[in-house]
Amino acid sequence: MTDETFDAVRIGIVSVSDRASGGVYEDKGLPALKEWLTRALLNPITFEPRLIPDEQMAISTALIELVDAGCSLVLTTGGTGPALRDVTPEATLAVAHKEMPGFGEQMRQISLHFVPTAILSRQVAVIRDKCLILNLPGQPKSIAETLEGLKDGEGKQIVSGIFSAVPYCIDLIGGPYFETDADVCKAFRPKAAIRAK
Ligand SMILES: Nc1ncnc2c1ncn2[C@@H]1O[C@H](COP(=O)(O)OP(=O)(O)OP(=O)(O)O)[C@@H](O)[C@H]1O
Ligand SMILES: Nc1nc2c(c(=O)[nH]1)N[C@H]1C(S)=C(S)[C@@H](COP(=O)(O)O)O[C@H]1N2
């Protein structure tokens, strides 16, 4: 099966970090997002990367630009905690047409299997036009943790990651047909929504 079989997708990846954007440390958020998505998706992907400080206006502006540029999915990392400068959820809610609270709830549940401080993440998910925007925590390792969930030593899924629900959500808002590598993340769709091969 060649790449042409799959819809092309445009994905916004946004790393929100004062120190990474200021050059204090190397940004590991964008590479981690890119690596996981490339591994999980069979679609040809065009990435739209942004590295920005924890500034609410700058984050909202970037999100609007990415949706207007035709992204059907935008993932942010960082700025979801309780610190004074953590404003990614506020910036995301400010551009929302619909809230999708299940994603944040499930991410915190998953993250509790990894760290007791999971409850400190205020991450949200929203829909703007035909785009799903998801906040992930800033720790680079939390990207795979929340998207993929928890597997045992033999690769058997113990807790589902949130990405299982992303392809069908994007179907429902009129976006491209996302297909995943089931070894990384098995997408769930109702039978009637599965596209014939
Ligand atoms: N973009 C990033 N690249 C590399 N490491 C990061 C990044 N964002 C966060 N981290 C790591 O995860 C930790 C927790 O992330 P958090 O988003 O709370 O950072 P922070 O304390 O708000 O600082 P900053 O916004 O300057 O990254 C950081 O202290 C850092 O070690
Ligand atoms: N899966 C996962 N979730 C996690 C973490 C983590 O390491 N892994 N870190 C927690 C911590 S320590 C904080 S403070 C919050 C918010 O992080 P942020 O401000 O970097 O977005 O995410 C939480 N959620």
What is the Å distance from ligand 2's center to 134 Cα? 14
Q: What is the overall mean pLDDT for the chain?
A: 96
pLDDT in tens, 32-71: 999 999 999 999 999 999 999 999 999 999 999 999 999 9
What is the Å distance from ligand 2's center to 121 Cα? 6
What is the Å distance from ligand 1's center to 118 Cα? 15
Closest ligand, as measured to the CA of 161: 2
The predicted structure's pLDDT at residue 196: 83
The predicted structure's pLDDT at residue 197: 74
What is the Å distance from ligand 1's center to 149 Cα? 21
pLDDT in tens, 133-162: 999 999 999 999 999 999 898 888 899 999
Instruction: Name the one residue in this structure whose structure tokens are 């179907």.
Output: 171
pLDDT in tens, 76-90: 999 999 999 999 999
The predicted structure's pLDDT at residue 20: 98
**Does the interface predicted TM-score (ipTM) exceed 0.90?**
yes
What is the Å distance from ligand 1's center to 79 Cα? 8
List of domains in the chain: 3-193 (3.40.980.10)
The predicted structure's pLDDT at residue 4: 60
Work out the pLDDT band at 119, boundaries 50, 70, 90: very high
Work out the pLDDT band at 10, boundaries 50, 70, 90: very high
Residue 75 pLDDT more than 70?
A: yes
User: Which residue's alpha carbon is at the smallest distance from atom 9 of ligand 1?
Assistant: 138
Residue 1 pLDDT more than 80?
A: no
| Pocket lined around ligand 1, Cβ cut-off 6 Å | 15, 17-20, 25, 27-29, 54, 78-79, 81, 83, 138-140
* Ligand 2 within 6 A of CB of 76: no
What's the whole-model pTM score? 0.96
DSSP characters over the chain: --GGGS--EEEEEEEE-HHHHTTSS---HHHHHHHHHHHHB-S-EEEEEEEE-S-HHHHHHHHHHHHHTT-SEEEEES--SSSTT--HHHHHHTT-SEE-HHHHHHHHHHHTTT-GGGGG----EEEETTEEEEEE-SSHHHHHHHHHEEE-TTS-EEEE-GGGGHHHHHHHTT-----B-TTT------GGGPPP-
Handedness of CA 37, 138, 153, 106 (dihedral sign): negative
